[in-house]
Amino acid sequence: MGLTIAKSASEKRLPIREVNPIELLGANDTNLKLIEDQLEVSLYVRGDELLIRGEESKLALVENIIVEMIAVLNRKKFLDKDDVLTIIQLSQSGQSSLGETGLDSVVLFTRSEVIKPRTAGQERYFSAAVNHDMVFGLGPAGTGKTYMAVAFAVSALKNREVKKIILTRPAVEAGERLGFLPGDLREKVDPYLTPLYDALFDMMAHDKVHILMDQKTIEIVPLAYMRGRTLDNAFIILDEAQNTTPMQMKMFLTRMGVNSKIIITGDPTQIDLPKHEESGLQQVVNILRDVDGIAFVEFDESDIVRHKLVKRIIAAYDQSNKK
């Protein structure tokens, strides 16, 4: 295989003996073809070596891409098209190599970026998600609680650590008036689940998301429809958990099955429940704080990654509440 390269082209040999060549090269060498198409070089497998042939200026770039691919493969035990395309894009843009230490905190490769922790709070969140089967992410809007949680779930699905993703949140704003909204059940509930759809579409191709949803590999459902289920081999996210009642929270937490992970996100300062209703999130923090195997990660204003004004707005509200 390989493109037609001028006779003046240079060559470089790179050992690949330390990895599974099928996983590195891709089915029918698809990963190599991606590199050839993007960089106009030729790649040939010669035993346990990879021969790179092309312009001298591109050899180091291709070598860096292959080294990054090997590092990702060693860490994830899996390498797909999105991983390769992102590594190529990062290398072409001149961004620094992910390297071994950088790879340790990569959550997910998408077609356009690497999703990894950007703040101290997100670093703690990442570590908690790696080391615990149940994680609570608590803090203000804009800290990446939901976005990072969805990235954890998509990564686990892509790496075959789980068989399905379930995303849920209470449609509390509709209250008991859900039946009066126009449309079928999905049309009534979808507006409350939009942030979860947005995060998914950021990380995966739209058609892929729709296929996985049709196959029930990804489910986005209102919290009320979790009752009675036992969820094995699943990554489950409860978003906007401050708007659950104590009974709903207990119901949700007890859905956890074998080989499953749960992340619960919420902002205790933005409770939309009626004033006489206690928040299930506030109650569960007190009940489960010291339970082994459960992690609580608290975010603050320093973790906000939205527009800089969001941080100022939240700080202003906090100051007003203190007064």
Model confidence band, residue 162 (pLDDT cutoffs 50, 70, 90): very high
Structure tokens, 88? 């190529």
Query: Is the per-residue pLDDT at 146 higher than 50?
Result: yes
Residue 169 binned pLDDT confidence (cut-offs 50, 70, 90): confident
Kindly report the average pLDDT of the chain as a whole number: 82
Q: Give the model's pLDDT for residue 220.
A: 86
pLDDT tops 80 at residue 139: yes
Domain boundaries, the chain: 10-104, 117-322
* Domain 117-322 class, CATH top level: alpha beta
pLDDT of residue 313: 80
DSSP state of 20: -
Confidence label for 307 from pLDDT (cuts 50, 70 and 90): low
Q: What mean pLDDT comes out for the span 164-182?
A: 66
Give the model's pLDDT for residue 172: 60
pLDDT at 314 over 90: no
Q: Do 1 and 50 contact (CB within 8 A), yes or no?
A: no
pLDDT value at 31 more than 60: yes
Looking only at the bridges linking them, the beta strands covering 42-46 and 261-266 are unpaired
**Residue 129 near residue 152 (C-beta atoms within 8 A):** yes
If one compares 105 and 180, the residue with the highest pLDDT of the two is 105
Q: Are 150 and 203 in contact (CB under 8 A)?
A: yes
From 17-21, 26-30, 46-50, 154-158, the region with the lowest mean pLDDT? 17-21
Dump pLDDT digits (tens) for 67-125: 888 877 777 677 778 778 878 877 776 654 454 445 556 677 666 567 888 888 999 99
The answer to whether residue 235 scores a pLDDT higher than 90 is yes
- Tell me the CATH class for 10-104: alpha beta
pTM, two decimals, is 0.69
User: Could you give the strand order of the β-sheet that contains 261-266, starting from the edge strand earlier in sequence?
Assistant: 218-222, 164-169, 234-238, 261-266, 134-138, 294-298
CA distance readout (Å), 138 to 190, 227, 316: 24, 24, 19
Strand partners, 12: 52
What is the distance between the alpha carbons of residues 272 and 10, in angstroms, rounded to a whole number? Answer: 65
Q: Tell me: the pLDDT tens digits for 252-304? A: 999 999 999 999 999 988 888 888 889 999 999 999 988 999 999 999 888 88
pLDDT, position 317 = 79
pLDDT at 20: 81
HSE of 218, CA atoms in CB hemisphere, 13 A: 21
